[in-house]
Amino acid sequence: MVDTTRIAAFACANGLGHVRRVTAISTFILKNGFNGYIDLFIPYTHIKFLQNWPDMDYIINSPQVKIFDFEYPLSSQKVNQNFFGKDWLNINLPDLKKYDIVWSDNIVNLLEKRRDTIFTGSFFWHEVFQNKLNENGLYNFVKEQRKIVKSVKPLMMGNEYFSTPDVRGITNFFPVGLYRYSLLFKEKNNKGILISCGLGGEEEEMARDTVSEIISKNIIPPEVLYVEARLLPKKYPEWIQLADFSDDMFIDCVAACIRPGIGTLSDALIGRNRVFAFCNENSFEMNHNCDVLKKMNLGSKYSSPLEAYLNAIKFINKDGAIDSQILRTTHLRTDGVFATANLLINRE
């Protein structure tokens, strides 16, 4: 029997996490018997960042998938722009009538055309902006976005641990585990540290300054320091390696000094790392995630990437600390991709 089900999937363009999640879930759906079609609305620029990832390669080459270049919010700079400076008020959506399932990762605007839109994500942008209502005309944006979510109460699949109050409180919330993007299981034999600030925030400058200070002061890690490429100078010491964000890299690390977006956070915790978080004081989502990390004793927030790094070294050198973190993280729920894919297709 031919399955004619058509899915339209939209991913927010701020950061890579939304596109990664939609791609991984779509891949899982296609590899597990779905014979319909998926139209992916994601930025081509993000595809380039993820082109060496097996799931992205699978999606690009699947005859059941069409990819449309879609960017929301719009920006003049594709990477690392203050998200308050992006255009959150205008969006260009296609005709959605032909789709059986409309799926949105963090784009509330779709409810205006399809009130049956299904959501994934662990926060809403109106929560992020609620303390800065006068920037970029966001007062009405926050008010209207929260109003439509509250009135429709859409099905929303979000992380069991890190979903925010509005995700839990004004949607039909379905909790899922962390998003595991690989089935790689290996023993942890190394003691690497990661420093990363991600693509979705405003912490790049202070993270780059931290890396420069670590190098100039020769603050050598116990083993190796993995650093995100855009934070590195042209020349750096041999005890620093380029971070490739592979599963092997996270297994080689025991500490992750990161801006704690849910994508990198999932990777770090699934890799059984302790999280040494840093973020802008005004970042609602990041500070929320830091509070959860502290409550669950999975990590802590620090005032700067340098403070995070120095405390990561102390953690590694403390007897029993790594084993305790491995014990806690091993018991975390990690079925985010499976649980989300299953409910999307079998929600009836």
Q: Which residues lie below 8 Å from residue 55, measured CB to CB, with a gap of 6+?
A: 23, 24, 27, 181
Give the confidence band of 201 by pLDDT, cuts at 50, 70, 90.
low
* DSSP track, 277-304: E---TT-HHHHHHHHHHHHTTSEEE-SS
CA distance 344 to 106: 15
Specify the pTM.
0.90
The mean per-residue pLDDT over the stretch 259-281 comes to 93
CATH of domain 6-177+335-345: 3.40.50.2000
Structure tokens at 243: 């971070």
Query: What tens digit of pLDDT does each residue of 217-261 get?
Result: 999 999 999 999 999 999 999 999 999 998 899 999 999 999 999
Backbone torsions φ then ψ of 35, nearest 5 degrees: -110, 10
pLDDT of residue 14: 87
49 pLDDT exceeds 50? yes
pLDDT of residue 89: 87
pLDDT of residue 348: 54
Give the confidence band of 134 by pLDDT, cuts at 50, 70, 90.
low
Sequence spans of domains, the chain: 6-177+335-345, 192-330
Domains 6-177+335-345 and 192-330 belong to one CATH topology: yes
Beta strands 6-11 and 101-105 are parallel
CA distance 15 to 106: 12
Structure tokens at 11: 């991913």
44 pLDDT exceeds 70? yes
- What is the distance between the terminal CA atoms of the chain, rounded to a whole angstrom? 19
CATH of domain 192-330: 3.40.50.2000
The mean per-residue pLDDT over the stretch 50-66 comes to 94
CA distance 56 to 47: 7
The mean per-residue pLDDT over the stretch 54-62 comes to 95
Comparing C-alpha atoms, which of 149, 153, 155 is closest to residue 174? Answer: 155
Q: Are 284 and 223 in contact (CB under 8 A)?
A: no
Give the HSE-up count for residue 14: Cα atoms under 13 Å, Cβ half-sphere: 26
Backbone torsions φ then ψ of 252, nearest 5 degrees: -70, -20
Give the confidence band of 184 by pLDDT, cuts at 50, 70, 90.
low
182 pLDDT exceeds 90? no
